[in-house]
Chains A and B, each alone.
Chain A
Amino acid sequence: MATGAEVLRHMGPDRRVEQVEDITNAAAAVEELGGDDEEILRFMDSADGYLLLMDSLSAALRQGWLDLASARHSMGASRVSSVLFDHKEQSAATMLQVDYSADLQPSESKPHFALSKWCLQEESSSGGVICVQDGTKPKLRYRGSEATPGDGSRESDASAAKSSTGVDISNQVQSARSKELSVFGKLVSPKLRTTQVSFETALELIVELANSRSTMLSGFSQIKRRS
């Protein structure tokens, strides 16, 4: 810094102003370049994450296909076939919740997906829907519930309901799983149940992949906009 100041002292006033302007511009350019680098690094990170998830998905699907082949071997090809699919009106038991900011432009938007497994229509009078949401710990989602965060009594009611239904939830999930397998007959091979679990794992990975993809595409559009 001292040498820089000495150099500036030996220069004329106009030359000094020019020099200061040059330095300021260069600093701004370096800062801008640093920001770009950060974005590119983040983008490359998300691309790397995408590829790692795709590897895990390949492994999960391979396991699923192997289990399905084993089930077909033990039950017979005619009993594990796409011909048995039910074409009556029915809704999906496993669905997605999409968190999507509509105020952004389509190119800038970054939707977030969450998996709701085994959504069960409650038989009770409330008519709510219980789903097991994807995560490290299975959680219950109450849709159509009247409980609000500020209302203490309703909250305690909701938690009591949660604990009472929590006991039954695994049974309900089991029955939902069995319903899905009922097209293949009442008594199915345990391998078919393993297949179901493998494809459930694959679905969880697919949702993670979709989130990674949206991060990657949003990073891509940011970099494109800057360049």
Chain B
Amino acid sequence: MAGRSNIPANNSALIAIIADEDTVTGFLMAGVGNVDLRKKTNYLLVDNKTTVKQIEDAFKEFTAREDIAIVLISQYIANMIRFLVDSYNKPIPAILEIPSKDHPYDPASDSVLSRVKYLFSADSVASDRR
């Protein structure tokens, strides 16, 4: 978080975060925070004033940026924009749904594990037979 001016090398990529205050603070302490020339950050702090539109925009921006390799999103926030998270299927940036303080991780709502569920479900077998 201290003011360094070195720019990331081309083969390096960033980790973006969309999470609550404590999670973002913790990861910024671990050295993940990046602010570019245009004052664009690689994190979005979500509190009770943050709108769904802001979360959507941040998610779209982070998944479109070429310098980001992983997008961390608290699962309860991912649930607010579930349609966007589920429709995303690119390998990079990888979307990881992480637990938050008040919301433990639920494998049933994770977009990656829902694919596993689909693969072994009756719907999947029926659609393959058709």
| Stretch from A12-20, A160-168, A178-186 contacting the other chain | A178-186
Determine the chain B residues whose CB is within 8 A of the CB of A1 once the complex forms. Answer: none
A6: min CB distance to chain B, Å: 40
Interface assignment of B123: CB less than 8 Å from any CB of chain A:
no
Given contacts A54-B105, A57-B99, A206-B98, contact A47 B116 (CB under 8 A): yes
Chain B: CB-nearest residue to A203? B30
Assess whether B32 is in contact with A94, with CB atoms less than 8 Å apart: yes
Assess whether A87 is in contact with B128, with CB atoms less than 8 Å apart: no
B5: min CB distance to chain A, Å: 7
Given contacts A90-B5, A95-B14, A182-B1, contact A199 B29 (CB under 8 A): yes
Residues of A at under 8 Å CB distance from B?
Answer: 43, 47, 50-51, 54, 57-58, 61, 64-65, 68-69, 80-82, 85-98, 100, 106, 109-111, 113, 116-119, 121, 129, 143-144, 176-177, 179-183, 192, 195-196, 198-200, 202-203, 206-207, 209-210, 213-214, 216-217, 220, 223-224, 227
Residues of B at under 8 Å CB distance from A?
Answer: 1-9, 11-15, 21-37, 39, 41-42, 45, 69-70, 72, 90-92, 94, 96, 98-99, 101, 104-105, 107, 112-113, 115-116, 119, 128
